[in-house]
Amino acid sequence: MLSTLQPPRSLSHLCNKPTTLFLRHTSLKPLSSLSSQPVTDSTLTGQSQSQILSTRDSLLSRQITAAQLAESFLTRLRRTEPHLRSFLHVSDTVLAQARELDEKIQRNEEVGPLAGVLVAVKDNICTAEMPSTAGSRVLEDYTPPYDATAVRKIKELGGIVVGKTNLDEFGMGGTTEGSAFQVTANPWDMTRVPGGSSGGSAAAVSARQSMVSLGSDTGGSVRQPASFCGVVGLKPTYGRVSRFGLMAYASSLDVIGCFGTSVADAGILLHAISGHDRLDATSSKREVPDLASQFVSISLLESKPLKGLKVGLIHETLDDGVDIGVTSAIRTAALHLEELGCSVTEVSLPSFSLGLPAYYVIASSESSSNLSRYDGLRYGNQVASDELNSQYMDSRAKGFGSEVKRRILTGTYALSAGYYDAYYKRAQQVRTIIRKSFKAALDEHDILISPAAPSAAYRIGEKKNDPLAMYAGDIMTVNVNLAGLPALVLPCGFVEGGSAGLPVGLQMIGAAFDEEKLLRVGHIFEQTLQNCRFVPPLIADEDAPF
């Protein structure tokens, strides 16, 4: 398939997609004619423009009010939510907050850089005004007494939290089918999974139910659903964003990540939530560079804007077991990068395949400990019993789903006396090897690229009863968590499937704390990727999005 591809002739590159779909997308009605609603432009048709920046422009230039904007999103949310089920809880104060903001703007008061930006938040991230269940029965109806640091920062900068999104229970899973409450559908094909565990957050952004969203990524939980839903997913370096208020799954791997419809939005959102937090001892004290102001407009780009950039295509990620369509899309993306001036070479990471088992040992071990607090005694669901041990057992047996139980059991086993050395300790040794091999590869290359997942979105129920097959789907992403590195996933093409094709995500991996470079490369990549609008069919035909 690769051989049939013509080398791109111009700076802009056609993305890898079936012709019929291509035609269908170019015929998407240009909404720029709706001059009274400039925001919609970028929302549905723009060149992956920043919704955050255009929101700010439109609000400050009084072209639209925050209330109108919020209403348009809420309308779309109400229309699409019955099909998608991305939200576990939708805030009832969105409009009130937007109106309050409008009053501020009316009074010419200073508003924050996220003013009016509608943010969806994964339900394992604590919000004081909304329930936070982590998709688990054990926390059904639980509302925390505080906002997670990331949420607090978003609110302080003027962002409005739209609601709490669905996820695999406690982030354990790759389909969002593991939620105790509902299954979320993929906006591109509602018979398919949105990926997971941040499937709700990915679907919400993909279907423009919110402008951006927060997810969490322990082994790929932001990047894989971003790929499945055709949105940008950004997993920051471990320590870049405070974990305070993120319900811990595997503490040494967990990071809060961002979803957006453009690289710029993901970057701006990351900038908003980054930085040291005295409430998280593992958050980094490194200064956060200005991630928000480097998104150069396409018109200002030189012909080879990424000249001299060394890109390593991870050899092991194009092995057997990766869908041919995915491999093809990634190779095309590599050609696109070359066209932009990069030198792309294949790089081998021999330890790559060790990542999966090491990840499952470490993540399960830590989760078996982190989930001990859910005993039904102080909060959450409790099964009454007249004896402490049976109360623990009943509360946890009824409160946790099967995947969570599987990982708790696996982790408990791995940490048990006599097994610790063979499992947990060994996995940590593997982790060190992986970290070193990534470090070496990134000393040689500016960024590494790979698919974000071995396949595009698969069907609901397809892997539900085959945990090993589901675990194998994490092969592309877990190494990055083990190494603690930042990675950006952005849609780069399509494979056949559904009514409009299924998006495929390209993963770019950077050196620790060098999100800046990923964002710069990603932004240029998406700006120069032509004729590839990642707007799912569910909303692509919207005539009047407001």
Q: Which of 69, 247, 335, 495 binds other proteins (CB under 8 A)?
A: 247
Q: How far is the CB of 427 from other proteins (least distance, A)?
A: 11
How far apart, in whole angstroms, are the C-alpha atoms of residue 139 and residue 71?
30
Q: Which of 106, 297, 348, 416 binds other proteins (CB under 8 A)?
A: 416
Q: How far is the CB of 388 from other proteins (least distance, A)?
A: 6
Q: Are 210 and 195 contacting, i.e. CB atoms less than 8 angstroms apart?
A: no
The amino acid occupying position 375 is D
Give strand pairing partners of 256: 216
Q: Considering only CA atoms, which of 319, 334, 328, 450 is closest in space to residue 17?
A: 328
Q: Which of 117, 126, 162, 480 binds other proteins (CB under 8 A)?
A: 126
Q: How far is the CB of 114 from other proteins (least distance, A)?
A: 22
Q: How many CB atoms lie within 10 A of CB 275?
A: 17
Q: How far is the CB of 328 from other proteins (least distance, A)?
A: 39
* H or E segment to which residue 314 belongs: strand 310-314
Q: Which of 22, 181, 392, 546 binds other proteins (CB under 8 A)?
A: 392
Write out the binding residues for other proteins, residues 417-476 only, by CB under 8 A.
417, 420, 424
Write out the binding residues for other proteins, residues 66-125 only, by CB under 8 A.
125
Q: Does 140 bind other proteins (CB under 8 A)?
A: no
Locate 27 and state its tokens: 């015929």
Q: Which is nearer to other proteins, 420 or 444 (CB)?
A: 420
Q: Which is nearer to other proteins, 181 or 379 (CB)?
A: 379
Q: Does 169 bind other proteins (CB under 8 A)?
A: no
Q: How many CB atoms lie within 10 A of CB 100?
A: 13
**Residue in this structure with the two tokens 């071995």, named with its chain if needed:** 454
- For every residue of 387-420, DSSP letters joined together read SHHHHHHHHHHHHS-HHHHHHHHHHHHHHSTTTT
Q: Which of 366, 403, 515, 542 binds other proteins (CB under 8 A)?
A: 366
Listed ranges 156-164, 248-256, 350-358, 431-439: which one lies at the site for other proteins (CB under 8 A): 248-256
Write out the binding residues for other proteins, residues 192-231 only, by CB under 8 A.
none
Q: Which of 109, 287, 290, 386 binds other proteins (CB under 8 A)?
A: 386
Query: In the structure, how many helices (H) and strands (E) does the chain have?
Result: 18, 13
Locate 419 and state its tokens: 């097994």
Q: Which is nearer to other proteins, 300 or 384 (CB)?
A: 384
Q: How far is CA 201 from CA 81, 366, 479, in A?
A: 12, 24, 22
Q: Which of 94, 161, 185, 246 binds other proteins (CB under 8 A)?
A: 246
Torsion sign over Cα 464, 466, 467, 473: negative
Q: How far is the CB of 395 from other proteins (least distance, A)?
A: 10
Q: 79 phi and psi, to 5 degrees?
A: -70, -45
Q: Considering only CA atoms, which of 413, 359, 371, 394 is closest in space to residue 170?
A: 371
Site string for other proteins, 307-336 (x = CB under 8 A): ------------------------------
Q: Does 360 bind other proteins (CB under 8 A)?
A: no
Torsion sign over Cα 509, 515, 520, 525: positive
Q: How many residues bind other proteins (CB under 8 A)?
A: 52
Q: Which of 66, 90, 148, 180 binds other proteins (CB under 8 A)?
A: 148
| Residues recognised as catalytic | 122, 197, 221
Locate 308 and state its tokens: 């001299």
Q: Does 245 bind other proteins (CB under 8 A)?
A: yes
Listed ranges 259-267, 346-354, 413-421, 511-519: which one lies at the site for other proteins (CB under 8 A): 413-421
Q: Are 220 and 196 contacting, i.e. CB atoms less than 8 angstroms apart?
A: no
Q: Which of 369, 467, 530, 537 binds other proteins (CB under 8 A)?
A: 369
Q: How far is the CB of 246 from other proteins (least distance, A)?
A: 6
Q: Which of 175, 209, 274, 365 binds other proteins (CB under 8 A)?
A: 365
Q: Does 251 bind other proteins (CB under 8 A)?
A: yes
Q: Does 146 bind other proteins (CB under 8 A)?
A: yes
Q: Which of 96, 324, 377, 544 binds other proteins (CB under 8 A)?
A: 377
Q: Half-sphere exposure of residue 198, counting CA atoms within 13 Å on the CB side?
A: 40
Q: Does 19 bind other proteins (CB under 8 A)?
A: no
Q: Considering only CA atoms, which of 350, 286, 282, 284 is closest in space to residue 314?
A: 350
**Residue in this structure with the two tokens 């030198």, named with its chain if needed:** 343
Q: How far is the CB of 124 from other proteins (least distance, A)?
A: 8
Q: Which is nearer to other proteins, 276 or 304 (CB)?
A: 276
Locate 79 and state its tokens: 């229309």
Question: E-assigned strands of 68-157?
Answer: 87-90, 118-122
Q: What is the CA radius of gyration of the chain?
A: 22
Q: How far is the CB of 111 from other proteins (least distance, A)?
A: 27
Q: Which of 379, 405, 467, 537 binds other proteins (CB under 8 A)?
A: 379
How far apart, in whole angstroms, are the C-alpha atoms of residue 12 and residue 511?
27
Q: How far is the CB of 172 from other proteins (least distance, A)?
A: 15
**Residue in this structure with the two tokens 């505080």, named with its chain if needed:** 146
Locate 289 and state its tokens: 């560079």
Residues 6+ apart with CB under 8 A from 210: 73, 77, 118, 119, 120, 162, 163, 204
List residues near other proteins by CB under 8 A: 125-126, 128, 132, 134, 139, 142-146, 148, 243-248, 250-252, 278-282, 365-366, 368-369, 371-379, 382, 384, 386-389, 392, 412, 415-417, 420, 424
